[in-house]
Amino acid sequence: MAPPQSVLRSAPVRPRSVDLAFSVHLCGSVLGLLSALLGLVILDEQIRADLGSDDLGMPSLDAAVELMRIVAVTMTIVVVVISVVFLFFVFAMRNGRSWARILLTVVGSLNLLASLGYLGQLGVQFGIGGVGVVVATVNILILPVTALGIIAMYLPESNRYFQYN
C-alpha cells in the first residue's frame, strides 16, 4: 500500500520570482534608507530653495529651517524603524508567508504613492547639485524597484508557492 499523499508531498522549492521579489525589496529598503539619510545632508539647502529667502526675513527663515530640520530628523528615525519592520516582512515573504506578501503589497503601494509626491522635489534636488542629484536619482529609482517587487510576488510561480504555504 502506498503512503498517503500528504506524506509524499514535500515543500516546494522557492521559485526564482520569489527570490527576485526578496532581492528587489531588500534593494528598495536600502534605497529608501539612503534617500532619507542623504536627504538630511541636503536639508538646509532644499528648505531654503523651497521657501525662498526673499519671502521671509532672515530670523523667520532660520526658524523655519530649524523646525524643518527637527521634522526631517524625526521622519528619518521613523523611516529607519519602518525599514526594520519592513525587512521582517520581506524575510517572512521569502519563507512563503502569504500575510507578509499582502503587507508588502500594501506598504509598497503606499510607498509608490508617497514617491510620486517626492517627484515634485526633483527640480530642487537636481538644482542643488552634488548630493542633491544623488538623492533625486535614488528617489527616481525607488519607483520601478518597488513596482518590480510587488509584481514579482504575484507572478504565477510565486502564486503557487504562496498557495502551498
pLDDT digits (tens, 9 = 90+) for 52-67: 655 555 567 677 778 8
pLDDT of 33 strictly over 60: yes
pLDDT of 40 strictly over 90: no
Count the Cβ atoms, other than its own, within 10 Å of residue 34: 16
pLDDT at 157: 96
Find the distance separating the first CA and the last CA of the chain, reported in whole Å: 28
Find cell 552634488 and name the residue: 130
The grid coordinates of residue 27 equal 534593494
pLDDT at 17: 96
Question: Which one is predicted more confidently, 135 or 95?
Answer: 95
- Give, to the nearest 10 degrees, the angle between helix 156-164 and helix 131-153: 70
Domain boundaries, the chain: 15-164
pLDDT at 68: 79
pLDDT of 132 strictly over 90: no
Find cell 524603524 and name the residue: 81
